[in-house]
Structure 1
């Protein structure tokens, strides 16, 4: 069961052209690339359905499993046609709306969005809980339940006992207890 070579080459060319067009900023080219990819996928499903020229399910003579074709690829092609039609309508509406409002259907970098994104990166650690307030991690001797007290210290910040002594000295110098504040 070898698929026709011309159809395989056409499918590959449609996939390549579709990917190339979808990587452009023009919404019309993205739409055309999407259509090419959808048709290439339909062709792929058609090629998996069996040899061309045979009846859809059976020829009526050989009713065994070898004489029948799989109807699943045909059902998948029908489903893919419906899905690609609806997504094409959606993309056409996007292209029309873009042309109607901006008189341009290509996507450009928005300077205001870039400015907001650059400003937001300064405080993004606070929202994510990674603001650098805590320098230790959950790995190694900073774990809440270390494996044993004889584990080698692989960090530059000292052993857990040395860090506890530094913390107590800092609390005594500042005049308040941080354990009371955390409770």
Structure 2
């Protein structure tokens, strides 16, 4: 096995473990998952930069390694560190306030997720919500409509 293949396998394992940990409800596990994803990203950047070469200071221009992927990796390290410090501060604050490391289920989100549209089950409600079936006698386009029915007069005649 070549060095590049080992790095690709390690990167794939880090990505998969990082995503698995990010999907947990524990904030500490989410932080560890984020750190694993950051390290996998650094391996990806360095693997994609190509084979090792000569340093850019020196003799000829042949065989010189491009320093841009290394600069990207350093930038990714700094960003990962900053976001990790922020997540660690959030975890500390959550622990100080509630003595819990778990993310709780928000009842409002659950209610929105399970709410169904009543028009799906009742076709009459779907017709009432349809703007093509509404008749507004005060609207200029409906004022001259001879076939338009007035809902108030129809209801009054039905009750007589």
TM-score range, shorter chain: 0.5 to 0.7
Match of 1:134 in 2: 131
Match of 2:5 in 1: 5
Q: Give the drift of 1:134.
A: 0.6
Q: Give the drift of 1:48.
A: 1.9
Q: Does 1:87 align with 2:83?
A: yes
Give matches, 1:115-154, under 5 Å: 117=112, 132-135=129-132
Q: Give the drift of 1:71.
A: 1.2
Q: Give the drift of 1:171.
A: 5.0
CA distance in 2, matches of 1:36, 1:49: 20
Q: Does 1:51 align with 2:47?
A: no
- String of CA shifts for 1:136-169, please: whole Å, max 9, x gaps: 7xxxxxxxxxxxxxxxxxxxxxxxxxxx8xx533
| Equivalenced residues, count | 133
Contact 1:3 1:51 in 2 (8 A): no
- String of CA shifts for 1:22-68, please: whole Å, max 9, x gaps: 1111111110000000011001111122323x33426x3432xx422
Give matches, 1:15-164, under 5 Å: 15-52=15-52, 54-57=53-56, 60-63=58-61, 66-111=62-107, 114=110, 117=112, 132-135=129-132
**3-state SS in 1 of match to 2:146:** helix
TM-score scaled by length of structure 2: 0.68
**Structure 1 gaps, min length 5:** 123-130, 137-163, 176-183
Question: Aligned pair in 2 of structure 1 residues 88, 99: CA closer, same or farther (>3 Å)?
Answer: same
CA distance in 2, matches of 1:76, 1:98: 33
